[in-house]
Amino acid sequence: MSKHKIAMRIYRIRGEVMVAACDRELLGKKFEEGEFHIEVKKDFYYESYVSDKTFLNSMKIATIANLVGEHVIQLAIKEGYIDKDAILRIDGIPHAQMCLLF
């Protein structure tokens, strides 16, 4: 597999920098479990495929993040961006959000 395992898009909105990222293989898929559902839409999560390093560098400037998938969330946990208790699993797929408050 390519070293670029992450699909990512960066949004800049009213002074905020949002990183939307997911594991590459989840793009275009839908997951449902009870009242929870998530659709990993290509037009939301994908601008380019990036390496772990590029993703983590982008997280350094992010004020908001929307993350889906084992790989991307494990990286975010390891670097301290996401607390493991803040992860929601939908049909076994981890989803987490980060928002920095100033």
What is the chain's pLDDT, residue by residue, as a tens digit (102 residues)?
457 899 999 999 999 999 999 999 999 999 999 999 999 999 999 999 999 999 999 999 999 999 999 999 999 999 999 999 999 999 999 999 998 865
Give per-residue burial for 35-59: e unless 16+ CB within 10 Å, then b.
Answer: eeebebeeeebbeeebebeebbebb
Question: What is the structure's pLDDT at 3?
Answer: 72
Tally the domains of the chain.
1
Question: What is the structure's pLDDT at 4?
Answer: 81
Decide if 11 is inside a domain.
Answer: yes
Round to whole Å and give the CA distance between 32 and 42: 18
Range of the domain at 83: 6-99
Decide if 68 is inside a domain.
Answer: yes
Decide if 60 is inside a domain.
Answer: yes
Decide if 35 is inside a domain.
Answer: yes
CATH code assigned at 86: 3.30.1860.10
Question: What is the structure's pLDDT at 1?
Answer: 42
Decide if 1 is inside a domain.
Answer: no
Round to whole Å and give the CA distance between 100 and 61: 11
pTM of the model: 0.92
Question: What is the structure's pLDDT at 101?
Answer: 67
Decide if 90 is inside a domain.
Answer: yes
